[in-house]
């Protein structure tokens, strides 16, 4: 059974209408959806036909009920979510970027239920029963000292059961503030260093590796992502794969998008997309929504590695990159692309022709 368990926070996402600044949109209406990195991965895997459970803690009120119902409607198993009288539903506010104006995110998530609920509130035996994969991100331990502790417990529970573990670094400097006078970077570096020895699949970017782990490509490296991945594999022997999305930002609404998957044992890096034997990133000329695209890449990779016909490294990275590419075209954090659409794009159907 290839069941994926994801643990983290889900929030209300309040977005200003298309390209409006906060000062234009408020007072007025904001578009409300639900989002969160690990929840997004679970939803995306379920949409692809996989089995995914999302674990978190939420308060006991009607908005949290709506949140759970929304997740369940996508096919995600919500039966292990803890309801509590303590804490709140976290929020984040989004102002979409356009051209040279960047995206802006304002967090309002301090004291959320998942940040304060203790580890013994979760039924880890039930959560990991039949699980094949555990996924979390660097966002969750950033929320609070308690959330970092619960993440360590969840990781230990997964590891002792032989469950494969993936972590997406997702460094968010605005969140790492629970241990003053340590800086955000110092606290993140210390906390993440405790988790990495128990990880099988590392997902992150070159900036994550250099800022938090001090791993940088050699000055003369012909393949900087591959060189960094090789160093990570040498430093953390449990790693089987290192994956990186490769983004070349042109503006807030245009980007070039690709990815790399490094197989540690084989010491070989695979890139996608590949055209006539050469790496050639997708040219995304009109981003509809950038948030959640990295989670789509992570979900695509996990799904591919758990699916025998997609698990070969080149096929897996092609699938993951295509999933992330299509997520740029969908409003909201969740990627509602189908497996067939992703496989079609990965197979070269990138023209966007009308399907009749």
pLDDT digits (tens, 9 = 90+) for 178-208: 999 999 999 999 999 999 999 999 999 888 8
Average pLDDT over residues 349-355: 55
* Helix/strand/coil (H/E/C) assignment for every residue in the chain: CCEEEEECCCEEEEECCCCCCHHHHCCCCCEEEEECHHHHHHHHHHHCCCEEEEECEEECCHHHHHHHHHHHHCCCECCCCEEECCCECCEEEEECCECCECCEEEEECCCEHHHHCCHHHCCHHHHCCCEEEEEEECCHHHCCHHHHHHHHHHHHHHHHCCCEEEEECCCCCCCCCCCCCCCHHHHHHHHHHHHHHHCCEEECCHHHHHHHHCCCCCCCCCCHHHHHHHHHHHHCCCCCEEEEEEEEEEECCEEEEEEEEEECCCCEEEEECEECCEECCEEECCCCCCCCHHHHHHHHHHHHHCCHHHCCHHHHHHHHHHHHHHHCCCCCCCCCCCHHHHHHHHCCCCCCCCCC
Quickly count: other Cβ atoms within 10 Å of residue 312's Cβ. Answer: 13
Kind of pairing between the strands at 274-275 and 278-279: antiparallel
Rounded CA-CA distance 41/5 in Å is 10
CB-based contacts of 278: which residues, under 8 Å, 6+ apart?
none
Nearest-CA neighbor of 168 among 294, 12, 305, 308? 294
Q: List, for residues 310-338, the tens digit of each pLDDT value.
A: 999 999 999 999 999 999 999 999 999 99
In the structure, what pLDDT confidence band is assigned to residue 258 with cuts at 50, 70 and 90? Answer: very high
Q: What is the pTM of this model?
A: 0.95
Average pLDDT over residues 23-31: 94
Cβ contact 7:136 at 8 Å: yes
Nearest-CA neighbor of 42 among 296, 337, 324? 296
Rounded CA-CA distance 298/39 in Å is 12
pLDDT above 60 for 239: yes
pLDDT of residue 354: 42
Average pLDDT over residues 158-177: 95
Q: Kindly report the average pLDDT of the chain as a whole number.
A: 95
Beta bridge partners of 312: none
Q: List, for residues 36-52, the tens digit of each pLDDT value.
A: 999 999 999 999 999 99
């Amino acid at each position: 059974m290839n069941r994926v368990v994801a643990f983290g926070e889900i929030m209300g996402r309040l977005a200003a209408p298309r390209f409006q600044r906060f000062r234009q949109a408020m007072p007025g209406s904001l578009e409300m959806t639900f989002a969160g990195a690990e929840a997004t991965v679970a939803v995306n895997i379920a949409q692809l036909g996989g089995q995914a459970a999302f674990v978190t803690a939420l308060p006991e009120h009607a908005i949290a009920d709506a949140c759970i119902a929304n997740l369940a409607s996508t096919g995600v198993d919500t039966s292990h979510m803890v309801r509590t009288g303590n804490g709140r539903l976290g929020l984040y506010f989004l102002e979409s970027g356009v051209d040279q104006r960047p995206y802006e995110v304002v967090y309002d998530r301090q004291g959320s239920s998942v940040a304060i609920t203790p580890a013994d509130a979760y039924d880890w035996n039930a959560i990991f029963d039949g699980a094949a994969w555990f996924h979390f991100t660097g966002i969750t331990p950033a929320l609070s000292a308690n959330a970092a502790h619960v993440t360590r417990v969840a990781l230990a529970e997964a590891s002792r059961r032989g469950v494969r573990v993936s972590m997406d670094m997702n460094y968010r400097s605005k969140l790492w503030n629970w241990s003053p006078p340590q800086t955000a970077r110092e606290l993140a570096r210390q906390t993440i260093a405790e988790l990495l020895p128990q990880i099988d699949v590392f997902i992150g970017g070159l900036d994550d590796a250099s800022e938090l782990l001090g791993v940088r490509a050699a000055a003369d490296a012909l393949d900087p992502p591959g060189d960094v991945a090789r160093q990570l594999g040498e430093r953390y022997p449990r790693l089987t794969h290192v994956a990186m999305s490769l983004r070349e930002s042109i503006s807030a609404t245009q980007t070039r998008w690709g990815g790399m998957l490094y197989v540690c044992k084989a010491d070989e890096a695979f890139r996608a997309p590949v055209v006539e034997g050469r790496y050639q990133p997708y040219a995304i000329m009109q981003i509809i929504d950038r948030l959640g695209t990295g989670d789509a890449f992570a979900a695509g990779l996990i799904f591919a590695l758990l699916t025998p016909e997609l698990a070969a490294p080149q096929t897996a990275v092609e699938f993951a990159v295509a999933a992330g590419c299509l997520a740029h075209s969908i409003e909201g954090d969740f990627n509602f692309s189908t497996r067939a659409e992703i496989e079609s794009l990965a197979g070269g159907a990138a023209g966007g022709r009308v399907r009749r």
